[in-house]
Chains A and B, each alone.
Chain A
Amino acid sequence: MPIIETIDLCKSFGQLEVLKDVSLSVEQGEVVVILGPSGAGKSTYLRSLNELETITSGKILIGGELLDERRGGHSLVKLTPEQRTQILLRMGMVFQRFNLFPHKTAAENIMLAPVNVKGIKEALAREQALDLLNKVGLADKADEYPARLSGGQQQRVAIARALAMEPQIMLFDEPTSALDPELVGDVLTVMKDLAQSGITMLVVTHEMGFAREAADRVVFMCDGTISEESSPDEFFTNPQNPRARQFLNSIL
């Protein structure tokens, strides 16, 4: 059973059709990299999965459970807020611009949701936060405010913050695009470690090195549709879709 399944996902902003019948299945533990030109709908797709955007039509299943099904904008599923949160909590998200809480220290950023959503005791949450910071190589930054961290450090705190809710799936939306080139490596290292750990990952990125090394599958998105789906080897050596070929040429 796929851990993420979207069927004929459509999303429009007013007249603008951004996603057109996007169907994709991701198996548990798989690392899928989504590539594609700017404006293809990659962010919108990820954001639809955790309901930061509301789809216009289609079906989203997470861990086999129906999260949303819509036709013509109308929802066909009735979940209680608790059921919905329960499903949404299986996904963690990492944003391009980090979105750390600037009024909280690194550790407090990580503790906030475990304490307030899961009801974990402060002391225990802090212990876990320190563990996670250690994992992302920032053990010494626990009590720093985000403004005093580099972009790469902020993004690693953001990854730790998402992991603190123990999601089964991690969604990454261009996690290194806002970083200075010399800071990208540290974040990618953390992501590669994570990929090894067996968590399911859906990653939008322009880092071809990461796609080649860490991805189990590459999905090429263009104009709101998935136009190619293959192994990284196949995709990078012999892309089938002409737009994918063009995209690879423009990037390499």
Chain B
Amino acid sequence: MNAINQILSWIPSLLNATGVTLLLTVCSVCAALVLSVFLALGKISRFQPLSKLAGAYIFFFRGTPLLMQLFFIYYTLPMLVPALTINSRFLAAFVAFSLNVAAYLAEIIRAAIQSIDKGQMEAGKSLGLSYGQAMRLVIIPQAYKRMIPPICNEFVMVLKDTSLVSIIALTDLTFQTKIIAANKASSLVYIPAMLIYLVMTALFTVIFDRLEKKLSVYE
């Protein structure tokens, strides 16, 4: 009973920190989505320099550990370019996650666009649509339904990955858990913390499943 009371007493501060975790996840994924659309369109563009540039970006951010990227942005960048110093831990984490997640989302979006039958673009062109018009009116409206499931999946991954930010001492759910564990000398705190993560991922999974069902109506 004592243990349960103890755990319950930690809940308010854990929930407070959960807000940071959620805010970071939602903000990063939203920013990443915007950036990833440009990256994906750049990568499939027939204009080689653009395609190469987007390809290099994606290769770099998927090919190096997220933790290193976080360190780089928070510690290394200010050394190299003082003007790019980010004092706010939250902002640094947000930038690192946005840049990283954008690379993964770009690949999801690119794959979805390229999964659309080539005949669709050809039909569009044969009707006089420009490349941009065909993308906007024909390809993307079909592709976006195929992007939703993997994007939702990515969101849940990011939600868990944000626990990395505890390393730069941003008070997210994981960092708050570590503080409690250290101060109270009790590792019990990991139990409610993990449960909170679990509830969040379960919640989002259910919401996203609903969304997917709604969107797949006429395919």
Chain B 117-142 residues near chain A, CB threshold 8 A:
117, 119-120, 122-123, 125-130, 133, 137-138, 141-142
| Number of residues on chain A facing chain B (CB within 8 A) | 27
Q: Which residues of A contact B133 (CB under 8 A)?
A: 116-117
Tell me the bound Cα distance from A95 to B218 in angstroms: 23
Decide if A243 is an interface residue (CB 8 Å cutoff): no
**Nearest chain A CB to B80's CB is how many angstroms away?**
43
Instruction: State whether A112 and B127 are in contact (beta carbons under 8 Å apart), knowing that A101-B138, A103-B141, A145-B218 are contacts in the complex.
Output: yes
Verify B127–A165 contact, CB threshold 8 A: yes
Neighbouring A residues of B127 by C-beta, 8 Å = 92, 112-113, 117, 161-162, 165
User: What number of A-B contacts does a CB cutoff of 8 Å give?
Assistant: 58
Number of B residues with CB within 8 Å of any CB on chain A: 18
Task: For chain A, residues 3 to 57, give those with C-beta under 8 angstroms from any C-beta of chain B.
Answer: 50-52
Closest residue on chain B to residue A94 by CB atoms: B126
Q: How far is the CB of A250 from chain B (nearest CB, A)?
A: 28
Which chain B positions have C-beta within 8 A of A218?
Answer: none
* Contact between B218 and A52, CB atoms less than 8 A apart: no
Q: Judge if A61 is at the interface, Cβ distance under 8 Å.
A: no
B contact patch SS = helix
Tell whether, in the assembled complex, residue A97 and residue B128 are in contact, meaning their CB atoms are under 8 Å apart: no
Which residues does chain B contribute within 8 Å of A215, judged by CB atoms? none
B129 and A92 contact, CB distance less than 8 A? no
Tell whether A52 pairs with B126 under 8 Å between CB atoms, given A99-B119, A101-B120. yes
Residues in A with CB closer than 8 Å to B129 are: 112-113, 116-117
- Find the B residue at minimum CB distance from A85: B128
B137 near A116 (CB under 8 angstroms)?
A: yes
Give the residues in chain A near B141, CB-CB below 8 Å.
103
Do A101 and B123 touch across chains, with their CB atoms under 8 A apart? yes
Cβ contacts under 8 Å, B119 to chain A: 95, 97, 99
Contact, CB under 8 Å: B128 / A165 = yes
Residues 103-114 of chain A, each 1 if its beta carbon lies under 8 Å from chain B, else 0 = 100000000110
In the complex the two chains form, what is the Cα distance from A186 to B49 in whole Å? Answer: 49
Top 7 A-B residue pairs of the complex, sorted by shortest distance between their CB atoms: A113-B127, A99-B123, A99-B119, A93-B126, A117-B128, A89-B128, A103-B141
Residue ranges of B at the interface with A (Cβ–Cβ < 8 Å): 117, 119-120, 122-123, 125-130, 133, 137-138, 141-142, 218-219
Q: A52-B122, A88-B126 are in contact. List 13 more A-B contacts (CB 8 A).
A: A50-B126, A85-B128, A85-B130, A88-B128, A93-B123, A93-B126, A101-B138, A102-B142, A103-B142, A113-B129, A117-B133, A145-B218, A158-B123
